[in-house]
Amino acid sequence: MRKFIVAVGIITLLAGAGYVVKVWTNLRVQARTSKLNEDVENLFSALQKYKEHVGAYPVGGNAEVAKALKGQNPKNVIILVGRKNDLNDKGEFVDRWGTALRIYFSDNGILVRSAGPNRRFDDSTTLECDDYF
């Protein structure tokens, strides 16, 4: 009987530890996700202000967009992006996991894509897709 109680106690402790790890991981991901959302909202706002002052969205990839917001544009206008957004060695805006954001423009819209926690851009049909749009 005593061995049974000890075995049940050990199983309960292991299950409890697994649950705590799962909750802790989810909290960390949620914190990074909320910071990512804030960063992207600031970037959207900056790009809208850029369009208002310069007349069009910046052209080029992520690094060119960052340079344009820093004043390397036809009107030499500097647009502040909110709090300091992280840049990589190439001068590109990066997400909370260190992966460069992909920024797409249309005539009147912007799409910003993050690779998410797995740091790779996935096809939306894959089960492991954790990208943020």
Q: Domain for residue 127, yes or no?
A: no
- Find the domain containing 56 and state its range: 2-113
Is pLDDT of 65 > 80? yes
In the prediction, which pLDDT does 3 show?
82
Q: Give the Cα separation of 107 and 35 in Å (integer).
A: 28
Tokens describing residue 89: 């060695």
| DSSP helix/strand/coil, 36 | helix
Question: Does 106 reside within a domain?
Answer: yes
pLDDT at 29 over 80: no
CA distances from 38 to 16, 122, 126 (A): 33, 22, 26
Rounded average pLDDT over 105-113: 82
Alpha helix positions (H), 2-133: 2-54, 62-69
pLDDT of residue 41: 87
**41 domain residue, yes or no:** yes
Residue 87 forms part of a structural domain: yes
- Locate 30 and state its tokens: 């949620």
Q: What region does 90 belong to: left with phi over 0, alpha with psi -120 to 50, or beta?
A: alpha
For the entire predicted model, the pTM comes to 0.70
Whether 129 is in a domain gets the answer: no
Average pLDDT over residues 40-50: 88
Q: For residues 51 and 27, which has the higher predicted lDDT (pLDDT)?
A: 51
Instruction: Please check whether residue 119 lies inside any domain of the structure.
Output: no
For residue 44, being part of any structural domain is answered with yes
Query: How many domains, in total, are found in the chain?
Result: 1
Q: Could you tell me if residue 79 is inside a domain?
A: yes
Amino acid identity of 133?
A: F
